[in-house]
């Protein structure tokens, strides 16, 4: 008898846990009238039971968030996360992040700036009109979501700090507190978590500092009280629970870049033509869907951000 050996599935071939546990809900959803999908496209949080019961936010909807895609359900957005400070499993953040204390919270802005300082989170955000931005989130592991973030343009914060001529990059640093974040007791990464952008990337209108999603403040597991959202880059660039923003002259080394430089580069732009060493990036699985879809260059934001990388080799500078 000829026995054919089937290759072991890769990480990107495994059905995400959030999708598996919600499979019956997916089947029921197939019978929902089209109007429900339209409501999702408009960014309406129509399912009150799906929300977290957290503080509501006043915001305006931004034209920059226009999309014809349905929102990922709140339950998936808040239970399927990468936040290693609370554990390495996708459900660990939602299970253990209750220990995080998002108030009081201060953010230090320093480095190559004229007007730095330490700011209470509410004072930092207060001068600005919060906006809803419906963005795609694409993770390097091959899954994706569509999330209605609430936040402010990162560029507004950077410009207010008045960068000096030496400022070429922006470095972001996460809280490092083993008492609040049990995952940092394990050396899965070199804590604190660090990420960075070029200054022109940080000033781009699509880059935001998020303080909420689905009309409410950020749940702890999603990076409360302040996280970065850069929709054309892989999700690990969207650093969570930020306590420090530094403008610097030299290119920062991100935590994943430091840990595994052959797999994670500084730019980390979504590029379906450059595979991760252990899986393809050409296709992705949207949480809530059973079939993979084609991954778009710059996560679908090529028209808006492509000019930032004119002349840059996106295979070498991954």
Largest CA distance in the chain: 76
Please give the pLDDT value at position 65.
83
- For the stretch 69-107, pLDDT in tens is 999 999 999 999 999 999 999 999 999 999 999 999 999
Residue whose structure tokens are 């935001």: 208
What mean pLDDT is predicted for residues 216-231?
A: 98
Whole-prediction pTM:
0.85
- For the stretch 141-178, pLDDT in tens is 999 999 999 999 999 999 999 999 999 999 999 999 99
Domains of the chain: 11-309 (3.90.420.10)
Please give the pLDDT value at position 66.
72
Buried-exposed string 116-144: b where 16+ CB fall within 10 A, e elsewhere? beebebeebbeeeebbbbbbbbbbbbbbb
- For the stretch 98-139, pLDDT in tens is 999 999 999 999 999 999 999 999 999 999 999 999 999 999
């Amino acid at each position: 008898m000829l026995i054919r050996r089937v290759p072991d599935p890769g990480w990107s071939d495994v059905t995400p846990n959030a999708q598996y546990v919600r499979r019956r809900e997916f089947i029921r959803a197939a019978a929902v009238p089209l109007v429900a999908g339209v409501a999702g496209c408009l960014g309406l949080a129509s399912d009150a039971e799906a929300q977290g019961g957290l503080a509501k936010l006043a915001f305006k909807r931004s034209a920059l968030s226009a999309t014809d895609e349905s929102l990922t359900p709140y339950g998936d957005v808040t239970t399927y996360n990468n936040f290693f400070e609370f554990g390495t499993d996708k459900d660990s953040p939602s299970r253990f992040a209750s220990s995080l204390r998002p108030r009081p919270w201060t953010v230090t802005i320093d480095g190559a700036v004229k007007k730095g300082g330490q700011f209470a989170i509410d004072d930092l955000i207060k001068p600005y009109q919060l906006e809803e931005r419906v963005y795609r989130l694409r993770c390097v592991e091959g899954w994706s979501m569509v999330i209605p973030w609430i936040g402010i343009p990162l560029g507004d914060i950077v410009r207010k700090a008045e960068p000096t001529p030496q400022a070429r990059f922006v470095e972001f640093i996460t809280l490092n507190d083993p008492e609040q974040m049990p995952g940092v007791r394990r050396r899965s990464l070199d804590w604190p978590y660090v990420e960075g952008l070029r200054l022109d990337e940080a000033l781009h209108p699509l880059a935001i500092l998020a303080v909420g999603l689905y009309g409410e403040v950020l749940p702890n597991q999603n990076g409360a009280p302040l996280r970065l959202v850069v929709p054309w880059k892989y999700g690990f660039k969207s650093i969570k629970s930020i306590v420090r923003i530094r403008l610097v002259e030299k290119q920062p080394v991100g935590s994943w870049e430091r840990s595994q430089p052959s797999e994670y580069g500084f730019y980390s732009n979504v590029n379906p033509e450059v595979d991760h060493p252990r899986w393809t990036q050409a296709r992705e699985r949207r949480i809530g869907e059973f079939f993979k879809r084609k991954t778009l260059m710059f996560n679908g934001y090529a028209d808006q951000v492509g000019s930032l990388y004119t002349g840059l080799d996106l295979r070498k500078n991954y």
